[in-house]
């Protein structure tokens, strides 16, 4: 029904999983409200155990069939630990672009400052080394 409603493949998969979870919770609630809840809850609890296996299979097959946002060719571990939601990916790309833009602006400002004052850029000494001045050494800044 979700496909007929015009949802995308990943959205259809989400609807299928959510519907399955809601149905088992509803069945367990009804069973626990019955006069003999322990006996009545046996069927929904068994159904929930079967549901775990079925949903795992459904999820893996859907992922490999291209019905999720995660690419089918990546490893299972990478698919589990990475967020492939479009909003998250778009936000990550925007942050990366902003960081690159800022880095370029900082570099341009440093270059403009160096050329304006005819300064030698600061050079760090490798760890363990250092001058007798205790400052970490490097080129002189200034000239005035």
Q: What is the DSSP string of 60-116?
A: HHHHHTT-SSS-TTS-HHHHHHS---HHHHHHHHHHHHHHHHHHHHHHHHHHHHHHH
* Predicted confidence band of residue 88 (pLDDT cuts 50, 70, 90): low
Rounded CA-CA distance 16/28 in Å is: 19
What is the DSSP-derived secondary structure letter of residue 124? P
For the ranges 21-35, 48-62, 78-92, 115-129, which has the lowest average pLDDT? 115-129
Contacts of 76 (CB under 8 A, 6+ apart): none
| pLDDT, mean of residues 105-134 | 68
Cα-based angle 22, 28, 31 (whole degrees, multiple of 5): 140
pTM of the model: 0.51
Q: What is the pLDDT of residues 56-81, one digit of tens each?
A: 999 999 999 988 888 889 888 888 88
| pLDDT, mean of residues 100-129 | 74
% of the chain residues with pLDDT over 70: 76
Rounded CA-CA distance 59/75 in Å is: 14
Retrieve residue 122's tokens: 């600061």
Rounded CA-CA distance 15/9 in Å is: 10
Count the Cβ atoms, other than its own, within 10 Å of residue 20: 16
Residue with tokens 């990546």: 74
Cα-based angle 31, 36, 39 (whole degrees, multiple of 5): 70
């Amino acid at each position: 029904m979700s496909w007929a409603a015009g949802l995308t493949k990943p959205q259809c998969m989400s609807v299928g999983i959510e519907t399955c979870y809601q149905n088992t919770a509803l069945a367990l609630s009804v069973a626990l409200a019955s006069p003999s809840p322990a006996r009545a809850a046996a069927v929904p609890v068994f159904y929930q155990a079967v549901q775990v296996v079925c949903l795992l299979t459904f999820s893996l097959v859907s992922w490999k069939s291209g019905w999720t946002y995660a690419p089918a060719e990546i490893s299972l571990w990478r698919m589990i630990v990475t967020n492939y939601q479009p909003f998250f990916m778009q936000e990550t790309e925007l942050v990366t672009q902003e960081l690159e833009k800022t880095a370029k602006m900082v570099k341009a400002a440093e270059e403009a400052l160096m050329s304006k004052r005819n300064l030698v850029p600061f050079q760090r000494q490798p760890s363990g080394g250092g001058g007798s001045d205790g400052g970490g050494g490097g080129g002189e800044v200034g000239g005035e």
